[in-house]
Structure 1
Amino acid sequence: MIVEPGAGSETPSPQAGRAWHAGGVNGPEIHLSLAPELRFFAVPERRRPWTAVVTDGASTLGHVVESLGVPLTEVGRLVVNGEETAVSHVPSAGETVEVHPVVRPQRVPGAPLRFLLDVHLGTLARRLRLLGVDAAYESEDIGDPELAARSAAQRRVLLSRDRGLLRRRELWAGAYVYSDRPDEQLRDVLGRFTPSLAPWTRCTACNGTLEDADKESVRELLQHGTRRTYEVFARCTVCERVYWRGAHHARLEAIVAGAMDEFGDARAALS
């Protein structure tokens, strides 16, 4: 939901609660409202409809918002005194600032839509790959600086539940994953970015592309029971892992069917 300027809130009062300091030096006091979707990022005392914030007189509005705990990856429009402004704006005393959430579906300009997931989102990475979405993932913790640098170098949207990681300046693009449940995480990402879906075309282990493989070409890679029972195979063009419709196929098919039913036509609708 996008909250229109001033909707659902009253004009802020300079006497409404104590002011929060966005910098180390007393400076201009502004009155700031976080959209309901963004308030959970802030500590409870800052979740009121309007918060008085004392700035240092030099920091940008983007810095002030981040000082409240909100990653800029989650911020859409910034409205100052009723007019939309940029994150580079330096607030002046008495300004009213409304911070809106990012608009969904979110478009990522300038590159094919690709993702990079941090070490805590392995299940989400495998499910995105199952749907044919390009999702790079490191099973080892390579550190925040390296992840952010890789996002920039490869022009990938970094997905994370780490707010500090999403505030790193070298990021190309990023998004906070709002749930800790894989089913909800998948719906969150698909609904926010509407990537093109091509199920069963990527290796869930390494993110490589799959190609059809005849049984004879992969026979030596199969156990005897698999050779006897299955006839249709695919193989990863990168790691050479072999796939077939085994015991877990029904569960995976349910994940694919649910995603395709809800999001399969979303990209086409935006075209």
Structure 2
Amino acid sequence: MATAHFRFYAELNDFLAPWQRQQTFPYPLSRDASVKHMIEVLGVPHTEVELILVDGASVDFSWRLHDGEHVSVYPGFSSIDVTPLVRLRPATKGMARFIADAHLGQLAKHLRMLGFDVLYRNDYSDAEVARVAADEDRIVLTRDRDLLIRKEIVRGCYLHSRSSDAQVMEVISRYDLTQSARAFSRCLTCGGELKQIDKEVVGHRVPLHSREFYERFFECQGCSRVYWEGSHVERMRSRVARMLGTTEDAG
């Protein structure tokens, strides 16, 4: 049977069996197997792979593997420009947009607090997530590797941490989002954009004490929820600063 030799780097090793980690290992090839198929057979979602070298040459996911070839598989790079090499997926157009699976409600809320476009429902099925991601060109956020293997999904991010705070930092680091954050610009409930609105227009929709003490009000363009800069905002600013890794007030 034809056999190729594989080596996975950095966090991609987390997806492998213990005996396969941090070393080159042989693995039998399926008949006429693409490199994408074999990477996923070994348990690594294609969304986590940024560069593939076969015998030192950059290839795409469709490359058909042959007996004796050596395959090196790399995750995304933050300090190395892989632009001149074979692209594994189309470039992202405009600001990154996300869809979080049904288990990541707290992450979705935190990313919305930072101003990012994140779809989330706690009753999403995997099929719905995959369909919406494909239709709207969104990045799937999940801890479910089987979801990321779905062929409809082009871009995805497997969250290695279970902590929502650490997950936020994973997303920010992977997609270099620090400079594009616009804290408090989106609704925490539905993710819609917030627009400032005259106090007189929404005064009847907020508590009396808030009408008396605050002047700036915002309305969600999606669900019409009303927000105002109450005493809680300073605590939220500190939280945003921690998530973005800065000591400055955000927003």
TM-score higher than 0.5:
yes
Asked whether the 8 Å contact 1:33–1:99 carries over to 2, the reply is: yes
Q: Which residue of 1 aligns with 2:142?
A: 160
Question: Radius of gyration: which is bigger?
Answer: 1
- Deviations, residues 178-204 of structure 1 (Å, cap 9, x unaligned): 211111111111111124211121111
Q: Tell whether 2:105 aligns with 1:122.
A: yes
- Measure, in 1, the Cα distance between the counterparts of 2:23 and 2:10: 8
Question: What does residue 26 of structure 2 align with?
Answer: 52
Task: Check whether the contact 1:111–1:155 (CA below 8 A) recurs between aligned residues.
Answer: no
Cα deviation digits, residues 177-233 of structure 1 (max 9, x gap): 221111111111111112421112111111111111232221211122323332322
C-alpha displacement at 1:103, in angstroms?
2.1
Q: In the alignment, what sits opposite 1:213?
A: 197
Within the candidate set 122, 132, 156, 1:174 is matched to 156
- Match for residue 64 of structure 1 among 38, 42, 45: 38
* Preserved CA contact (<8 Å) 1:163 1:176: yes
Structure 1 gaps, min length 5:
1-26, 265-271
Indicate which of 238, 251, 254 corresponds to 2:235. 251
Among candidates 155, 162, 175, match of residue 193 of structure 1: 175
- Report whether the alignment pairs 1:98 with 2:64: no
- SS at 1:103 equivalent: coil
Q: For 1:234-245, what aligned pairs fall within 5 Å after superposition?
A: 234-245=218-229
The whole-number CA distance in structure 1 between the counterparts of 2:192 and 2:10 is 39
CA contact (8 A) 2:107 2:168 kept: yes
Identity of aligned residues (%): 35
Instruction: Give the one of 39, 47, 55 matched to 1:73.
Output: 47
- CA distance in 1: counterparts of 2:232 and 2:122, whole angstroms: 22
| Deviation per residue, 1:161-185 (Å, 9 max, x gap) | 1100000001132111221111111
Once the two structures are superposed, residues 28-78 of structure 1 have per-residue CA deviations (whole angstroms, 9 ceiling, x without a partner) of 011111113211111223225011101123111111111111001111211
Query: Aligned equivalents of 1:89 and 1:209: distance in 2?
Result: 42
- How far residue 122 of structure 1 moved from its aligned partner, in angstroms, is 1.1
Q: How many pairs are equivalent?
A: 237
The one-letter amino acid of 1:135's match is V
- Find the residue that maps to 2:130 and give its secondary structure: helix
Q: CA deviation at 1:102?
A: 1.8
Q: 1:110 to 1:101 in 2, by over 3 A?
A: same
- Shift of the 48–242 alpha-carbon distance from structure 1 to 2, 3 Å rule, reads same
CA contact (8 A) 2:47 2:154 kept: no
Cα deviation for residue 253 of structure 1 reads 0.6
Contact 2:186 2:193 (C-alpha < 8 Å) held by counterparts: yes
Shift of 1:90: 1.7
User: How far apart, in 1, do the equivalents of 2:214 and 2:238 lie?
Assistant: 20
For residues 146 and 260 of structure 1, the distance between their equivalents in structure 2, rounded to whole angstroms, comes to: 30
Q: Find the aligned partners of 1:102 and 1:260 in 2 and give their Cα distance.
A: 20
Q: Is the 8 A contact 1:37 1:101 kept in 2?
A: yes
For the Cα contact (< 8 Å) 1:152–1:171, is it kept in 2? yes
Runs of at least 5 residues in structure 2 that lack an aligned partner in the other structure: 82-89
Partner of 1:88: 62
Contact 2:78 2:174 in 1 (8 A): yes
